[in-house]
Chain A
Amino acid sequence: EPEVTQTPSHQVTQMGQEVILRCVPISNHLYFYWYRQILGQKVEFLVSFYNNEISEKSEIFDDQFSVERPDGSNFTLKIRSTKLEDSAMYFCASSRVSQQYFGPGTRLTVT
């Protein structure tokens, strides 16, 4: 069964550094998403992406964040200058229509 994959599984970075989280969505999916889950809190929507542009973003998704689909398979989330409060599990998801399939997540630790 096709699945969403994410790399790396765990990323440790220093405050102020740039990080890129990578995702490979399911190949025939059209919609792509990033969510995050701060430890002990609910899963929060960050951004959705369709037809090579952002279709919706939350207030969390400020100018420090960007997304890109650089080729036909990868979908990336970049955090330009990480803060301590960016420490969280980041989930990528993809869908054809209504059902979203989630990847296993990348745990980002900002020190």
Chain B
Amino acid sequence: AQSVTQLDSQVPVFEEAPVELRCNYSSSVSVYLFWYVQYPNQGLQLLLKYLSGSTLVKGINGFEAEFNKSQTSFHLRKPSVHISDTAEYFCAVTESGGTSYGKLTFGQGTILTVHP
């Protein structure tokens, strides 16, 4: 079984400032990692994913994340945020093989609020 912990429930930040949203996971097997964004009254949109290869992955809207296997982390970063980045962000994990393939386990979510 896997679990995901998002360490911050809310992150306020000013426009054009950098931001990091933290995510730690636990799993006894190899995993795939994802970040999803949910804008108000909308569904979940994939920001980026780590499947294999380079541990630094780039996604849409200028976001990137780094997979750190030793620290079991997958923190999301953006060097300069916009007002339009205000949303809830979810980290998710799935096993890369085995009986639970495909089932996503989500963190609690982090509400990012960008202030002018």
Q: Is the CB of A102 within 8 A of B102?
A: no
A35 to B44, CA, bound (A): 11
Interface size on B, residues (CB 8 A): 24
Q: Would you give the shortest CB distance from A19 to chain B, in whole angstroms?
A: 19
Q: Is the CB of B100 within 8 A of A56?
A: yes
In the bound complex, residues from chain B placing their C-beta under 8 Å from that of A102 are: 36, 43-45
User: Contact residue range for chain A?
Assistant: 20 to 34
A98 to B32, CA, bound (A): 8
A44 to B94, CA, bound (A): 13
Name the CB-closest residue of B to A46.
B103
Q: Is the CB of A95 within 8 A of B106?
A: no
Name the CB-closest residue of A to B90.
A43
Is A99's CB within 8 Å of the partner chain B?
yes
Q: Is the CB of B32 within 8 A of A45?
A: no
Cross-chain contact of B44 among A43, A55, A56, A95 (Cβ < 8 A): A43
Q: Is the CB of A35 within 8 A of B32?
A: no
Q: Is the CB of A95 within 8 A of B102?
A: yes
Name the CB-closest residue of A to B99.
A56
- Which 8 residue pairs spanning A and B have beta carbons closest together? A104-B43, A102-B44, A43-B106, A102-B43, A42-B108, A45-B103, A42-B106, A105-B43
B-side residues, CB < 8 A to A, are 32, 34, 36, 42-46, 49, 51, 90, 92, 94, 96, 99-100, 102-109
A-side residues, CB < 8 A to B, are 4, 31, 33, 35, 41-45, 48, 50, 55-56, 91, 93, 95, 98-105
19 interchain pairs, CB-CB under 8 A: A4-B43, A41-B108, A42-B106, A42-B107, A43-B90, A44-B106, A45-B104, A48-B103, A50-B102, A93-B44, A98-B49, A98-B51, A98-B102, A99-B46, A99-B49, A102-B36, A103-B43, A104-B42, A105-B43
